[in-house]
Structure formats: structure tokens, C-alpha cells
Amino acid sequence: MLIKRLAAAFTLVSMSLFAQTPSDVAKAAHLANINTLLIFTSQEGLNSGHYNFSNVGVRMDLYHLPFIYHFHSDTKLNSFVVGNVGYSRVYLNEDIEIPDGVRLDYDNHLRTYTAGLGGGLRYKLIPTLSILGGVEFIYSTSGVSIKKPKGHIGDVIEDFFNKNYNQNISYKFFTSLEYRQEIEGYKPYAIVNYKIYDTKSTFTFDTLSKIQTQSSITTLSLGVESPKLMEFSQNYLTLEGYYHANFLSGSVKDVVKFGEFNALGSVLYYYTPDKPWWASRFFFELNAVKASGLDGYNVGVGFTVDF
């Protein structure tokens, strides 16, 4: 009977209700957290997001600071660096009661911290069309923090999960084709982007061994930035609207139980050509994310150091 209770508890802890063994369940929860943090973020700005994965009864909060910097070049080819730091928290939507009257009413939070650094090359085929590619190495550590549930299985659950963190290395390979144009002050663009994440993890739990997984996302982005809306001496404001269609594949698709999601958003830019020297513009971004099995939002603030 105790084994049955443990199996039920592990299943509720994870994001994947179809998993049957402790190894499968821990793997599913781990993949959901790592890959979701890496995939559900943008490439610049300080992002604060909240997502409700309704198909699997899980919510996620994340805070993320990525950056990209392009080095100046007098030729069609230039190099750039990318990086990120982030934090996410995954938790159940509500308390759940399992057989024999044991109610899981603890705070079940799967926490992850990430830091990454990488780079790549961009080549301008023509002034309005460019292709780029690169790789980013992302280190992360994740673990579960809980409060003891009511019932006699609490000690077992707490001993298994508490104060155990997993060390992970992800390799993100990315490439994109970008079209950017300016027409009477308006700046429309279309971008096709592909990213693949290869994550290797060594669990600290004694019962588990090395796990490796791959996830990928293909994104079609359409948007346009307005001409100057307001001017303040040399500084000025513009507004951008965009639409992203995203298509998932690999392990993350199996865990979150949907294959595509859309994002609709806007960005307010404040350009500063003269001062400060380290930023060409500041921005505030807001978007809504929607899918069959997902709803959420992102709020971002930040600055651009180069293009």
C-alpha cells in the first residue's frame, strides 16, 4: 500500500500525469521545468512571465535576463555574443487528495536557476536579408522545495525530494533568416527562427542516473515598428507590434501536451542616440501567450546595446 501511495504522490508532483515510475516522473518534471524556462523566453530584456499549463494542471513563474550584442563590421559578416541568467518556479494548480484520505496540501515548488553564454555569426545576403547562426552553453541547477503534507507519507516524500538539486548542461543551437525593410518610416520584418536544446542532466537522487533529452522550437515572427511618435530633443519614441507562431517538438511537447502556441505583443521603444553611450534605446514590452493547454503573459523591460 505504501508503494502505491508513493507512486500516486510522485505522479502528482510531476507535470506529466502519464508517468508511472519515480524515474519517469522525476524526469518529466525536470524536463518540463528546464525546457520551459529555456523555450518560453525572448532574446532581450528583463522578462517576468506567468504561464498556466492547463492540460497538465501546472503553473510556472519565470524571471529572465537575456542579452545579445553584435560587433561592428565593415563587411557583410559580423560576429555576436549571447547570454542569459534566469529563475523559474513550477507548482501545482491546487491541492489534491490521493487515496486513503491523504491530502497533498504542501507547497510543491520545482525551482531552477540558469546562466548561459555563447555566440555566433551573422551574414547579410543583401541589405534587407540576413542569416545568422550560433550556439549557447547554458548551465542550470534545479530542485524541489516542499512542505510536509498531512498524512504518514509526508516523511518519505520530504526525505526523497528536499535539498536535492540536479546539475544540468544545455546546448542551444540556433539559426534564423531575417528580412527587415523600411518603408516611409515604417520598419516591417519577417523572421524564421529555429532553436534546438540538447540537455544533459545528472540527478543527485540515488535512484536515478544520467538523463539526456532534446527539444526544439520553430518560430515565425511578423511585426512592424512605427515611425517617430514623439520627439524629445534628440530622443524619440516608437511603437512596435508583433505576432509569433511557435511550433514545438521533442521532449517538451510530450511533457506540456501541446505542439504549438502563439504570442501577440507590443513594444514601446525610447531611442537615445547621444546619451548614454552604452545604450541606443530602452524599451517596455508586453505580450500575451495562448495555446490549447496554455495561457500566459510576459512583461519585459531593458535596453539595446547594438544591432
For the chain, 307 residues long, give each residue's pLDDT as a single digit of tens.
333 333 333 344 443 433 434 445 455 556 556 666 677 766 566 778 888 888 877 788 888 888 888 898 999 999 999 998 988 887 776 654 444 444 444 456 777 888 999 999 999 999 999 999 999 999 888 776 665 555 544 454 454 445 567 778 888 999 999 999 999 999 999 999 999 988 776 554 443 445 567 888 999 999 999 999 999 988 999 999 999 999 999 877 877 788 999 999 999 999 998 878 788 899 999 999 999 988 999 888 888 765 4
Q: Is the pTM of this model over 0.85?
A: no
Q: What is the pLDDT of residue 132?
A: 96
Q: Please, what is the end-to-end C-alpha distance for the chain in angstroms?
A: 61
Cell numbers for 130, please give them: 540576413
Domain spans of the chain, in order of start: 2-214
Question: Can you tell me the distance from the alpha carbon of 216 to that of 196, in angstroms, rounded to the nearest whole number?
Answer: 4
H-only helix segments in 236-280: 251-256
Q: What is the pLDDT of residue 217?
A: 92
Q: What is the pLDDT of residue 15?
A: 37
Question: Can you tell me the distance from the alpha carbon of 250 to that of 32, in angstroms, rounded to the nearest whole number?
Answer: 12
Q: With both helix axes pointing from N to C terminus, report the angle between 22-39 and 2-13 in degrees, rounded to the nearest 10.
A: 10
CA distances from 67 to 48, 119, 120 (A): 15, 11, 13
Question: Can you tell me the distance from the alpha carbon of 169 to that of 171, in angstroms, rounded to the nearest whole number?
Answer: 7
Question: Can you tell me the distance from the alpha carbon of 170 to that of 200, in angstroms, rounded to the nearest whole number?
Answer: 6
Q: Could you give the maximum distance between any two Cα atoms of the chain, in Å?
A: 74
Q: What is the pLDDT of residue 33?
A: 61
Report yes or no: 284 and 26 within 8 Å, Cβ to Cβ: no
Question: Can you tell me the distance from the alpha carbon of 281 to that of 302, in angstroms, rounded to the nearest whole number?
Answer: 9
Report yes or no: 248 and 39 within 8 Å, Cβ to Cβ: yes
Residue of 240, 239, 258, 238 lying closest to 248 (CA atoms): 258
Residue that the C-alpha cell 491541492 belongs to = 95
Report yes or no: 163 and 180 within 8 Å, Cβ to Cβ: no
Q: What is the pLDDT of residue 193?
A: 94
